[in-house]
Amino acid sequence: MDYRIGLGYDMHRLGRGRKLFLGGLEIPFKKGLIGHSDADALLHAVSDALLGAAGEADIGELFPDTDPRYSGISSVTLLKEVCVLVKAKGFAVNNVDAVVLAEEPKLAPFKKQIRQSLAKILDICEECVNIKSKTNEKTGDIGKGRAIAAYAVAMLSKGE
């Protein structure tokens, strides 16, 4: 077996007049993430982790914000395209572990749904997806409620 590990990271500023999407879910909140797509920082981090493990370019290169085709696009759609690319290279997703950094909203009530959503998108079992949420202890843009970030690690395997 050939095993590969990839690391992904993403951060977006929060702003009024936008919906908040994390893990493919709309989270009720007074602000949303600002970006060319729906700005789902968690799905962007997971996408980059998968792409990194597969030895591919990052999502900014594959889906540039200069391309109007991706304006307002759902990050679920982007992650599904990433999965197609990863599978075309002969890899299977083994597991994903992710951390979302947000001072607010509190994500504990949504973690199970986010986990289910991500497992469904990736077509893997829920036990193969782990989601954690942390605050930034009131420091930096995240801690001051101006941004949300996410880190993700993914393991891929390729049969012999």
How many other CB atoms are there within 10 angstroms of residue 39's CB atom? 25
Q: Give the model confidence (pLDDT) of 94-120 as tens digits.
A: 999 999 999 999 999 999 999 999 999
pLDDT of residue 94: 98
User: Above 80 in pLDDT, residue 24?
Assistant: yes
Segment (H or E) for 143: helix 140-143
pLDDT of residue 125: 98
User: Above 90 in pLDDT, residue 1?
Assistant: no
Q: Give the domain ranges of the chain.
A: 2-158
Mean pLDDT score, 24-38:
97
Tell me how far the alpha carbon of residue 49 is from its chain's centroid. 9
Amino acid at 32: G
Mean pLDDT score, 10-15:
98
pLDDT of residue 160: 63
Contacting residues for 139 by C-beta, under 8 A, at least 6 apart: none
Please, are residues 36 and 71 in contact by the beta-carbon 8 Å criterion?
Answer: yes
Please, are residues 74 and 38 in contact by the beta-carbon 8 Å criterion?
Answer: yes
pLDDT of residue 117: 98
Mean pLDDT score, 117-127:
98
pLDDT of residue 159: 74
pLDDT band of 22, cuts 50, 70, 90: very high
The whole-model pTM stands at 0.97
| Percent of all residues in the chain with a pLDDT value above 90, rounded to a whole number | 98
Mean pLDDT score, 26-35:
97
User: Above 90 in pLDDT, residue 150?
Assistant: yes
Amino acid at 125: C
Q: Which CATH class is domain 2-158?
A: alpha beta
